[in-house]
Structure formats: structure tokens, C-alpha cells
Amino acid sequence: MHIDIWLMSCRVLGRQVEQEVLNMLVEQARQRGDGFLLGEYIQTKKNEMVKQHYANLGFELLSEKLDENDQFCSLWYLDLEAFKPFNTFIDSTFCKG
């Protein structure tokens, strides 16, 4: 599974929401039969505070570069077999529909 945009309010960052969202993404990816997650970060003026977002969630850095618009980009990898879910206080459920 490829995460090209991780959109989250800065008001919830640091409150375990990103960890619980990752737990849910991993569960969905495993159900699809995926073995890994790829996360893409493209630096902008407004998202500098989450430059290490994927690193903080346990992803490994695969590459860094400047894109065609001279924006810093990085690609991150998470092995689903090795992933251990984060313990959070959030109780989440999936709704199919």
C-alpha cells in the first residue's frame, strides 16, 4: 500500500491519533495481502513540522531527493510482518460500506 498523502490536523498530532491511524492502515493493508507500506513526504512551507513523521512511526528511509519543482521529497518503507501495533488509548472500529 502506498500512502501518497497523510492529511491530519496539527491539533491532533502528538495525541496518539497518528499511531492509531497507522495501526488501522496496517490492518487494512494486511487484509489486502500487502507486505509493506510506502509513505511519501513532499516538503512544503506548511508541513515542515512533520518532516520526521514516518521516521517517528517506525518507517525506514528509502530515498531522499529534490523533485522537478525543487521540493524536498522522501520515500519511507514499513515492513508489515515486523510491525508491532502501537498501544493507544483510542478505540477504533472499521465500518465497511
Residue range 51-71, pLDDT digits in tens = 999 999 999 999 999 988 889
Radius of gyration of the chain (CA): 14
> CA 48, CA 46: separation in Å to the nearest integer?
6
- Give the model's pLDDT for residue 49: 84
What is the domain partition of the chain in residue ranges?
2-79
Determine the topology of domain 2-79 in CATH: Aminopeptidase (3.40.630)
CA 38 to chain CA mean position, Å: 8
* Residue 77 to residue 82: CA distance in whole angstroms: 12
Of residues 60 and 10, more confidently modeled: 60
On average, the pLDDT of the chain sits at: 92
The pLDDT of residue 34 is above 90: yes
- Region 62-91: mean pLDDT is 94
